[in-house]
Structure 1
Amino acid sequence: MSLIKPFRGLRPAPGRAADVAAPPYDVLSTDEARVRASGKPWSFLHISKPEIDLPPGTDPYAPAVYAKAAANLRAMLDAGVLRRDAADCYYAYRLTMGGHVQTGLVAAASVAAYDCNRIKKHEFTRPDKEDDRVRQIEALNAQTGPVLLAYASDPVVDALLDQTHLGSPEADVTADDGIRHQIWVMRDPGLIAQITAAFDAMPALYIADGHHRSAAASRVAAARRSGGTAGDGSSDYFLAVIFPHREMRILDYNRVVTDLHGLKKSALAARLAAAFTVEEAAARVQPSRPGEFGMYLDGRWHKLTIRPELIPADPVARLDVSLLSDHLLGPILGITDLRRDKRIDFVGGIRGLEELERRVDSGEMAVAFALYPTSLDQLMAVADANEVMPPKSTWFEPKLADGLVSHVLD
């Protein structure tokens, strides 16, 4: 079984990409999605967040929601807004955000490779989120949210991908947030075969974002095989966009905490000195290297630097998110469960340090911590060691759009 394969993509009809393209389903609340889709009958949010077309207060996991997603997909097909390619293709997908550009391959990735950890994971999944994606796939008989994958940049594969985005793109959309999304369709059988072989020669791919989507695809594939409904085997693959890891961009994923766990500020400073050097800063602290943190407390910024002897060799324990948890959040502020503790919240770096200041200055939070971003090399090292990252370790930007290419299960 090939690591990846081409497929007959379901895509917006010519001239319809701007009408269809939508933010990923998991970055908007229902209320935000309802506003974003207002006046846009063909927005993919009607498929990825179908509760927006049902009465306010509808449980987003109710059976009626998945049925509405299927009905909305049928309506878009019947209206000719979405069309399926006649033959198997690969697709080039370019994201442009300011001066940052990354170009990847849209492909169907092997569930078997995922199951045997050749497509490597670095996060735990939650059963309720997996269940949601399973129901969505089964209702639509399609995978509509692509999994973001990375490959260790390889000059042969990089050169092949350079051939996939020649000429004019078949979709070119600049979203409301200013991010440009471009799609090229690769139909040449020779180039398709070369790309398939080049990826087959790779030892592994890495999940960057989309652990619940890939886990759900694996569950659907297993259920269809055991039930004798696997069809042509398309359910043995899942929708993915694969980028060279050197082109991908991870932003900081920062932390805000509601209180100081009963400590006075003077006592907090004394406790910090055991693991960090602490310097008061005259301006906002955007960490410039691993092991450096910004702390915003009582209207002032401080720079914290972890003592070098406390940085271990283990690929998970040496992550900045782990160092902050192991030497500050846990022992000093009493936060030991990042998944469940209501005293902590997380702020993606796309919102800037201003958002950390706002959350603290408003009185909602007592203290904020700015982190240096996790790198792709660190992510891959964790996955190669078969370990798991702490929650909220990576914030990928720019994000893929939903609706530009979907994978139908025949």
Structure 2
Amino acid sequence: MTKILPFKAVRPARPFAGLVASRSYEDYDEDELRAQLEFNPYSFLHIINPGYKFQHEIGGEKRFEMVRNRYLEFLEDNIFIQEKEACYYIYQINSREASCCGIIAAASADDYEQNIIRKHEDTIAHREELFKDYLKVVGFNTEPVLLTYPDNEIIEDLMRKTMQKRPEYEFATSNREIHKLWKICDMESTGKIASEFEKMEKLYIADGHHRSASSWLLAKESREKNPNHTGKESYNFFMSYLITESSLRVYEFSRLIKDLNGHSKEEFLILLDEWFRIENRGKDLYRPSKKHHFSMYLHGEFYSLYLRKTQYRFTDSLSSLDSNILYEKILKPILGIADLRQDKRIEYIPGRNDLIELKTRVDSGEFAVGFGMLPAEIEEIKQIADENLTMPPKSTYIEPKLRSGLTIYEF
């Protein structure tokens, strides 16, 4: 039984919504970030980059405190408003490639701790602690965790009826996306939605493992310090964006490696031959067409690598995951890359980017070899989570990617 509740969001007043909403901070290059900060005084980037006001780089807890100050200024200037009643928020993103629609709501930190909300990635302890401390100081969260659930006709019907009305927000962005947001606040509808989620035995994290873990740490610490803890306090929940499994878009990450770990091209191919049938595809841009098939670009040529299934033993859902096969049979034993998070010899390209990028970066001499694969399927992700296993880092690139600042969850 999952607990997914409406909440009283802090959000932009209608005239400011399109100006406030921003992509993830890391998604901007230096020039674009500077332009946003210089020419858009309403951008949420001013809150998460508070040192810009003083033209000074600020770090640590002082930065957290200044983020809080910028946030309060947006409230004082009525750029942000506080919702008067608890609502669910329907958020739709339409792009040239696809459309998705889901519900922004409050998910239970207890459900995360009890594995009702299930994960498929490992988290890094110091990053969990850092973000927990950030949340504690700033007092709000603006980046929803992406959760996925089975298709549900009752929830979908309520969403369709709501979306026939005028949206609370409707704006376009420079990357040709249309963003719309509606509210569901009446008690009958919110009760039905909550009831339908209660019937679900489990949900799955699609994106936001560190945010989920940090929110649980904050909840645990807060309840230990609160002698009057009831379980209803806002710190017991974290903001999430819930979409159906059929709406989730899963891409792969391609791998780029800086060198062949001392092997010549010929030696490297011979080592690969133990586990893969290799075909030289020449200059043709080769993309895998099946699971357990990989593309490789090396010395100006593409190769197809087919896993020798008579040699390889599948023991669980993780052992059949292509990113894990690549790691266990090539990256670690042959190329000497044991730590996929920290090793500076490996970089990742989201699979939705063109294969030309992989080729260009190898041809430039920056990297020696690149690997591609098919994306994982949602059933693979769920099975790995159900078996309490974790994928190698950068196994999935998942969309949608949401704008920050449209709904804010206060602790």
TM-score (norm 1): 0.93
Question: Does residue 121 of structure 2 align to residue 114 of structure 1?
Answer: no
In structure 1, give the amino acid aligned to 2:405: G
Quote how far apart the aligned CAs of 1:279 are.
1.8
Whole-Å separation in 2 of the counterparts to 1:95 and 1:32: 22
Q: Aligned in 2, Cα 1:226/1:371: closer, same or farther, shift over 3 Å? A: same
- Residue in structure 1 matching 2:75, options 77, 92, 101: 77
In structure 1, give the amino acid aligned to 2:189: L
Quote how far apart the aligned CAs of 1:57 are.
4.6
Whole-Å separation in 1 of the counterparts to 2:36 and 2:320: 40
Moved more, 150-159 or 386-395: 150-159
Q: Aligned in 2, Cα 1:285/1:139: closer, same or farther, shift over 3 Å? A: same
The answer for the alignment partner of 2:309 in structure 1 is 308
Deviations 1:289-323 (A, max 9, x none): 22121111112111212123326141112111001
Quote how far apart the aligned CAs of 1:190 are.
1.0
Question: Does residue 242 of structure 2 align to residue 242 of structure 1?
Answer: yes
Deviations 1:220-274 (A, max 9, x none): 1112211118696111110000010111101121100000111111111212222
Quote how far apart the aligned CAs of 1:155 are.
3.5
Moved more, 69-78 or 35-44: 35-44
Asked if the contact 1:285–1:293 (Cα under 8 Å) also holds between the matched residues in 2, the reply is no
Q: How many residues align?
A: 407
Q: Aligned in 2, Cα 1:107/1:361: closer, same or farther, shift over 3 Å? A: same
Q: Aligned in 2, Cα 1:285/1:50: closer, same or farther, shift over 3 Å? A: farther
The answer for the alignment partner of 1:261 in structure 2 is 261
Q: Secondary structure at the match of 2:254?
A: strand
Q: Aligned in 2, Cα 1:73/1:30: closer, same or farther, shift over 3 Å? A: farther
Whole-Å separation in 2 of the counterparts to 1:262 and 1:20: 50
Deviations 1:359-401 (A, max 9, x none): 2111111011112111221111111111111111111133111
The answer for the alignment partner of 1:320 in structure 2 is 322
Question: Does residue 90 of structure 2 align to residue 92 of structure 1?
Answer: yes
The answer for the alignment partner of 1:372 in structure 2 is 374
In structure 1, give the amino acid aligned to 2:385: A
Unaligned runs of 5+ in 2: none
Asked if the contact 2:9–2:86 (Cα under 8 Å) also holds between the matched residues in 1, the reply is yes
Deviations 1:44-96 (A, max 9, x none): 1122343544545543xx12211111111011111111111110000111122
The answer for the alignment partner of 1:362 in structure 2 is 364
| Counterpart mapping for 1:124-143 below 5 A | 124-143=122-141
In structure 2, give the amino acid aligned to 1:239: M
Question: Does residue 48 of structure 2 align to residue 22 of structure 1?
Answer: no
Asked if the contact 2:2–2:200 (Cα under 8 Å) also holds between the matched residues in 1, the reply is no
Identity within the alignment, %: 33
Q: Secondary structure at the match of 1:16?
A: helix
Asked if the contact 1:67–1:139 (Cα under 8 Å) also holds between the matched residues in 2, the reply is yes
Asked if the contact 1:285–1:370 (Cα under 8 Å) also holds between the matched residues in 2, the reply is no
Asked if the contact 1:21–1:43 (Cα under 8 Å) also holds between the matched residues in 2, the reply is yes
Moved more, 343-352 or 234-243: 343-352
Q: Aligned in 2, Cα 1:296/1:88: closer, same or farther, shift over 3 Å? A: same
Unaligned runs of 5+ in 1: none
In structure 2, give the amino acid aligned to 1:250: V
| Counterpart mapping for 1:284-363 below 5 A | 284-309=285-310, 310=312, 312-363=314-365
Whole-Å separation in 1 of the counterparts to 2:332 and 2:296: 16
Moved more, 5-14 or 295-304: 295-304
Whole-Å separation in 2 of the counterparts to 1:261 and 1:36: 42
Asked if the contact 2:362–2:369 (Cα under 8 Å) also holds between the matched residues in 1, the reply is yes
Q: Secondary structure at the match of 2:78?
A: coil
Whole-Å separation in 2 of the counterparts to 1:308 and 1:167: 54
Whole-Å separation in 2 of the counterparts to 1:58 and 1:31: 19
The answer for the alignment partner of 2:233 in structure 1 is 233
Moved more, 48-57 or 342-351: 48-57
Asked if the contact 2:169–2:180 (Cα under 8 Å) also holds between the matched residues in 1, the reply is yes
Asked if the contact 1:157–1:195 (Cα under 8 Å) also holds between the matched residues in 2, the reply is yes
TM-score (norm 2): 0.93
Q: Secondary structure at the match of 2:353?
A: helix
Asked if the contact 1:33–1:49 (Cα under 8 Å) also holds between the matched residues in 2, the reply is no
What is the Cα-based RMSD across aligned positions, in Å?
2.1
